[in-house]
Every structure is written in structure tokens, then in C-alpha cells.
Chains A and B, each alone.
Chain A
Amino acid sequence: MSLSVIAVISRFLEEYRSSTSNKLKVIDAYLLYILLTGAFQFLYCLLVGTFPFNSFLSGFISSVGSFILAVCLRIQINPQNKGDFLSVSPERAFADFLFAHTVLHLVVVNFIG
């Protein structure tokens, strides 16, 4: 509590800018974009109403799902986490990411109605 919140956050951002590699920053930018699309869909639903509910759900879950899968990819290709994932190389992580997205979007398209 002795340090102000602003100071903490600015120090965190500085440290983030300097220590994360470019690959991870690209994924983080993508995560921010997905977060914004999810937030906009939720805002739209609050304003306009939930009909048709299955379409809203499929769109929202698509955003959340893409966010989660991108986070998983980020965790798996981060060289600092290599000890946790002995059987998963970065190439394998990316292939899994594509496979998961295929399944997710097939279901989302079926659910959109």
C-alpha cells in the first residue's frame, strides 16, 4: 500500500515492454483485439436484448474461446515455460492451436443458426 497503484502499473508496463519477446507481444496484441470484440458483443447484447440467444452465445463463446486458445499458445511457446511442456514443441503448439480453432469455429458456425 505504500506505493501508489499508478506507479506499480507504470513500472509493470515498462518491465513488460523490455522483457517480453516480440513473438509474445504479437500474441498479446491479438489477445487485446479478441478481448475488445468480446466486450463489444456483450455490450450489444446488454443494449439490444438477447434475442436470438443462440447467436449471441455462439459469437461470445467464439471470442472467449479464441482468447483462451491464444493464451494457451502463448504459454506453450514461451521459452521460460519449457520445463512444463516436455512433449509439446512450439511447432506442435501452433498445430494444436489451428486444430482447436477448426473445431471451435465449426461448432460456432453450427450454433449461430
Chain B
Amino acid sequence: MHTAHVFKEGVLDIFFSGTPAGWQSLLSFTILFLAWLAGFSSRLFAVIRFESIIHEFDPWFNYRSTHHLSTNGFYEFLNWFDERAWYPLGRIVGGTVYPGLMVTAGLIHYLLNLLNVTVHIRDVCVFLAPIFSGLTAISTFLLTRELWNQGAGLLAACFIAIVPGYISRSVAGSFDNEGIAIFALQFTYYLWVKSVKTGSVFWTIGCCLSYFYMVSAWGGYVFIINLIPLHVFVLLLMQRYSRRLYIAYSTFYIVGLVLSMQIPFVGFQPIRTSEHMAAAGVFALLQAYAFLQYLKDRLTKQEFQTLFFLGVSLAAGVVFLTVIYLTYTGETPNLPDSVCFRYAKIHIPIIASVSEHQPTTWVSFFFDLHILVCTFPAGLWFCIKNINDERVFVALYAISAVYFAGVMVRLMLTLTPVVCMLSAIAFSSVFEHYLGDDMKRENPPAEDSKEGLGPNIKSIVTMLMLMLLMMFAVHCTWVTSNAYSSPSVVLASYNHDGSRNILDDFREAYYWLRQNTDEHARVMSWWDYGYQIAGMANRTTLVDNNTWNNSHIALVGKAMSSNESAAYEIMKSLDVDYVLIIFGGVIGYSGDDINKFLWMVRIAEGEHPKDIRESDYFTPQGEFRVDKAGSPTLLNCLMYKMSYYRFGEMQVTLDFRTPPGFDRTRNAEIGNKDIRLKHLEEAFTSEHWLVRIYRVKKQENRQALDHKLRNVAAKQKYTSKKVCIA
């Protein structure tokens, strides 16, 4: 028995002969790999339930551009002028898009095909975001490890892999900028923190290159170029200036500036617009501060004061002259612009109508972040209590992110990474305090002192924390499965017996368009569907989700809101061949065009206030009704006619007590059942009447007049001039 015991110990010794550091790195690697796997798998619900398809609206444009890039090459993509969008204006795609996403997907596709792994570009696009979520987890781990320690880093990586706030914009199929931008953001911040800590130019250039990737990927790069100067400024105020800070920021600003101007969409904005002025101001301030520090080290106090006075007066003179010159040439950067954005948000209908731009509610904070939103202030407090240069950065990041997340729902995404990091710090500190063995610490408490914690308290607290984390994981998976995994292109409903009923109307209609219309046909629809029509039906559209031209959208809105003859004039002037609308009355779909109709009216009224008045579409009592009591303008407008054409004869529900023509979305029987269209004819209606396509009839060769108006020449009496020879 003694030999067996020794033998077993020997085997165990061989097995565990690695160093503690070796075991630590193996454990970290395994945990990060599992986090990547968890993040990847939890984003696959939509692909498993439906199929590998691009979701929503914006990703269809990104997919179409990537397809163009992969078939035609990089320079064709960069110089692409798209004449099949915004007819007749066209769109300069190369100059109005952030190319990072398309180039990343195109590059991966190219490399895989080079290795003879023939993957279709659509599959690369669909699965890009889940793969990058794993990379985000790794960069968050690196960043948190720089801020606190390795344990906190691993917790942060696991949190951000499954947190719903990030998953909402990066499910498989959501091929959008945020999928790669959050990875670029975290990686840039990690490299910035590293360069401030070491003061090495190598890390700073790495940070600049990562910043360049971020500028190419997302418009949110403005957040980086304002947060980093703010960090430097606060450090200067806190008397924490150091030479490492000077090296890091000066190099970052200059090389980052010239790199960011390489993207055509950004152009010269970094030296012209107000959002970038803070960075320039802090750069100038830092140069002055560093120079003064250098002089202060070498001169006595009185000499320094003399020079300081001279320097300040010179600087004031230069600033004064520059201000005079700029106002004279009229080139001042528009500082009140950012204030104007708040004004614009409320008063420009297009910006106000997007649901993602609404203020955030408390429910969304908890829904997207669960317990992390409760523990993240604790992490913030820990950081502030043990302050150093990097923790100032994360505190500023947290405060600014919380402010922005409160303004717009869409910006919850910028809050999520910092919440994960700070909660990880909080959890890590708690576990460190309650899990570790007291005797093994650096200064263990005495044998019978009251300082150490009893084992009961330690196990209770640890159990509670672990339960919280398990509930968090369950919540995240539930939210992902139920709320953020719908492709929006395919609708699904569940019957009483649990079987699934798929409504594939959108794709049915788009494919009808693709196969049954002329290749150069022009389709008019509301701007929501522009990208999908261009992507799936491959037809020219008039307006799409880019919404860069408000007047053009207002024209389409005016056509939809006017009566048929006025609308026909507009459609003739725009060369429209087909009109596409979404109608949800048969199945009770609430996102249809009649529900969006008031926004069309408002946008049209903004440009044509004399022709369209919003009040005309309401009843005298101020209600918006589609039944008999609705306003006559509404009952005769083009949108109403197109939505309810032939609907009056349709028995919508199986229950024969509801009359035919009962709109299930508005819960009303429609007012005008006998609709005749003069200038349009119905071309296609999908299976559940969700998508309706109408063809615009050409003008008749001869205008037929009513009989009463015809001008028939009176019969002339014919008198012969011949003489009668009798």
C-alpha cells in the first residue's frame, strides 16, 4: 500500500509538473476559447431556426456592396457610382460608405477561396459578426487585464461574449458596421492604455493603425477621437502629466490624423468639423505644457516667470490674429453644430421617426445588461478608489458612455463594453476577497484575530455571486433567443399546437419582381424597403435607407399621399414603372405602410406645405380612422387605394360575423370598399397580402374625351358653283 501511494503521488507529480504560470496560461487560453465558442453559438439562433440569410434592411446594402467588391475588385468598389439607387440621382457609393466592413468580408472571402475553401460571399457575410464577437471578447480580456488583473479580464471576456446589448447588433445575419466596430474600439483602447503605460512609440503606432481600422469601419470613431483627448486633458488637470503621456498622445494624434483622412468618406473632416476640434486643442495644449515643463526644469523660478509672461502674450497674439483671419475668410469650424444636432433630432421628421433614435427607457437597460448594470457602479468605485492613469481612462469612458446611452437607444451598444469591464472588476474584487485562502495571502491575519472572515460568510457570499452569474447566463440566452434572433425578412407565427407557420411574403414578392419585370424597371416604395428591393429584387429604386436626400423622399411621400391623378403626374416625372407597398391588414402585421403613413405625410408636408396638410388626413375630431368616418382626403389618397384595392371583397377571418374588408391591424372595417384605379393596375399580391405591387400604366395614345365635350364640326351646306344648263 505504501508503494502504491508513492506511485500514485509520483504519477500526479509528473502530470502536474508544470509551473503555476504555465497552468495559468493554459486556463486562460481555454476560458477565452470557450468564451469565443459561447459567443459564436449564442448568435446562431436565427440561422438554425430559419436559414443563413441577411437580416433587416441596412445589411442588405452592405451585402450588395460586398458582392460588388468581390466580383469586380477593390478599385471598382472604391470608385463605384451606383445608378440603380436614388433614381434619377444615383449614389456615389465609394465616397459615402465606411468601407471597413466590406473590405474585411471581401478579404476573408478572397483568402478562403485562395486556399480552395469555396465559401459563398453570402455565408462569409452572415457569419462575420459572430466570429468578430470572439475577437471582441479577446480584446476586452486584454484591456481589462491592463486595467486590473487577469481574473477580471477573463470575467470581462465571458460577459461580453454573451451580453444581449452587444448581441442585438451582431447576430449571425446582421451584417452591419457595429459587428466589427466594437472589436476595433476595444482593441484601439487596449493599445492606447498599453502605450500610455509603457510610453513606447511602437504601441502608439499600433494604436494608430487600429484607429485607422476603426475609422474605416464605423462613424462612431468620433467617440475615440474625443475620449482620448479628454483622458489626456483630465490627466493634465490631475497633475499626472508624464513624458510617456506626451509621447503617446502626440504620436497618436498626428499619425492618427493623417491615417483617418485616407478614408474617402471622412475626407478633410478631421480638420474642419467641430467634433474633431477637441483633439486638436488638446494636442496644442500638450505641446505648450511639455515645452514649459522642459524650460521649468532648466531655469530658475524668476527666469521662468519672465519667459512665461512673454510666451503667454505671444500665444494670445497668435490666437487673436488667427481668429481675425478665420472670421475674415469665413472658415470658422461650426462649434454650435453639435447643439444643432439636438435641435435637428426633434424637428427634422426623418431623424425623429427612426425608432432607434428614441430615448432609452429603464427597461432596456436591464433587458440588455441584467445584473451588470447593477454591479458596474461598484466596479467604477473600485477603479476610482485605486486610481492610476489607466483607471482615469476607464472612469471617463464609463461616464460618457452612460450619458450617450441615456440619449439614444441605439447607443446602448457603446455602453455595453465598459459595463462588462467594470462589472468584471467588481466581481473579481469580491471573489478575491471572499474566495482566497487567508493563510496564503501576503499578510495573513493572526491565528485567533477577528480580522479574518469566517468560512460560513465566505461560502455564502461565493454561492450568492455564483447564482447571480448563472441567472445572468440564463437571462442572456433567453433574451437572445426571443428578442434578437428574428431575421425580419421572414416572419414566423406559432399555432395553438405549437407548429410553426412561416410567412415568406417579402421574399416571394421580391423574387417575383426579379423574375417578371424588365431589368431596368424602376420601383417606387417607401424608403424603408429600398435596400431590400435593391438587394433581393435587383431593381432600380427611387429612395432607400440612406435617406441622404430629404426632398426626393418628400416627393415620394407626396405621391403616396395625393389622389391618384396628382400622384400619376409625379410618377410620370420620375419614370416609375412599379409601385410596391406593404399591407398588414390580412394577417394583422403592424409594421405596414398605413401605420407609417403619417410619417409620409409629415415628411411631404415639410417640403410641400401648400399641397399636403397633415390635418386633412384626420377626422374633424382629430382621429386617424380608415373606416367610413375617415377623412375623405385619406380615403382617396394613393396609399389607401393601393392598400385596400379588392380588399372589400375579402373575407379576412374564418368567423363570418366579421364583415368582408375588416382590417385586422387597425381593427376597423374599411370605409371605401369599391376602389377603382385609373392609372395603376395590380401586378402582384403576395400570399398573405403583405406585399402588393402595382404597375404604372403608360399614358394612352389618344386622350379620350367625354361625349359632351367633343367638338364636332357642323355639316357645311354644299352649294355647287356649276351653272345649271337647262
Contacts and interface: CB of A to CB of B under 8 A. Distances in A.
Contact of A103 (B208, B244, B298): B208
Contacts of B246: 72, 75
Nearest to A71: B250
Contact of A68 (B202, B244, B254, B261): B254
Interface string A39-65: 000000000000001100110011011
Contacts of A84: 199, 242-244
Nearest to B250: A68
B306 A57 contact: no
A26 B305 CA distance: 29
A63 to B, nearest CB: 10
Contact of A99 (B205, B242, B247, B302): B205
A5 interface: yes
A86 to B, nearest CB: 9
Contacts of B307: 5, 8-9, 12
Contact of A61 (B200, B257, B299): B257
Contacts, number: 109
Contacts of B209: 103
B205 A100 contact: yes
B616 interface: no
B621 to A, nearest CB: 59
B251 interface: yes
Contacts of A88: 198-200
Interface string A76-98: 10000100110110001101110
B259 A107 contact: yes
Contacts of B299: 8, 11-12
Given A57-B268, A57-B271, A107-B258, A100 B243 contact: no
B269 interface: no
A1 B306 contact: yes
Contact of A57 (B208, B243, B261, B310): B261
Contact of B255 (A9, A11, A12, A100): A100
B273 interface: no
Contact of A97 (B201, B243, B303): B201
A3 interface: yes
Nearest to B270: A57
Given A1-B306, A57-B271, A65 B205 contact: no
B292 to A, nearest CB: 13
Contacts of A15: 298
Contacts of B271: 57
A8 B310 CA distance: 11
Nearest to A64: B254
Given A84-B244, A103-B205, A61 B254 contact: yes
Interface string B231-262: 00000000000111011001100110111011
Contacts of A69: 201, 251
A80 to B, nearest CB: 9
Contacts of B204: 100
A11 B205 CA distance: 38
B199 A100 contact: no
The range of chain A's interface size is: 35 or more
Contacts of B202: 92, 95-96, 99-100
Contacts of B208: 103
A11 B298 CA distance: 10
A93 B198 CA distance: 12
A76 B42 CA distance: 47
Contacts of B201: 69, 72-73, 76, 93, 96-97, 99-100
A56 B695 CA distance: 54
A33 interface: no
Nearest to B259: A107
Contacts of B200: 85, 87-88, 92, 96
Nearest to A86: B198
B258 A75 contact: no
B261 A111 contact: yes
A38 to B, nearest CB: 12
B309 interface: yes
Nearest to A66: B254
Contact of A3 (B243, B255, B261, B306): B306
Contact of B243 (A61, A81, A96): A81
Nearest to A16: B298
A53 B272 CA distance: 12
Contacts of B257: 61
A103 B579 CA distance: 52
Interface in B290-342: 295, 298-299, 302-303, 305-307, 309-310
Contacts of B298: 12, 15-16, 19
A111 B303 contact: no
B268 A108 contact: no
Nearest to B205: A100
A97 B251 CA distance: 11
Contact of B251 (A1, A2, A8, A68): A68
Closest 3 pairs between A and B when the two form their complex, measured CB to CB: A96-B201, A8-B303, A72-B247
Given A61-B257, A85-B199, A111-B262, 13 more contacts: A8-B303, A9-B307, A16-B298, A57-B261, A61-B254, A65-B255, A69-B201, A72-B246, A75-B243, A75-B246, A76-B247, A95-B202, A103-B209
22 contacts: A1-B305, A2-B302, A5-B306, A8-B307, A19-B298, A54-B261, A54-B268, A57-B261, A57-B268, A61-B254, A72-B247, A73-B201, A76-B201, A84-B243, A99-B201, A99-B202, A99-B205, A103-B208, A103-B255, A107-B258, A107-B262, A108-B258
Interface of B: 198-202, 204-205, 208-209, 242-244, 246-247, 250-251, 254-255, 257-259, 261-262, 268, 271, 295, 298-299, 302-303, 305-307, 309-310
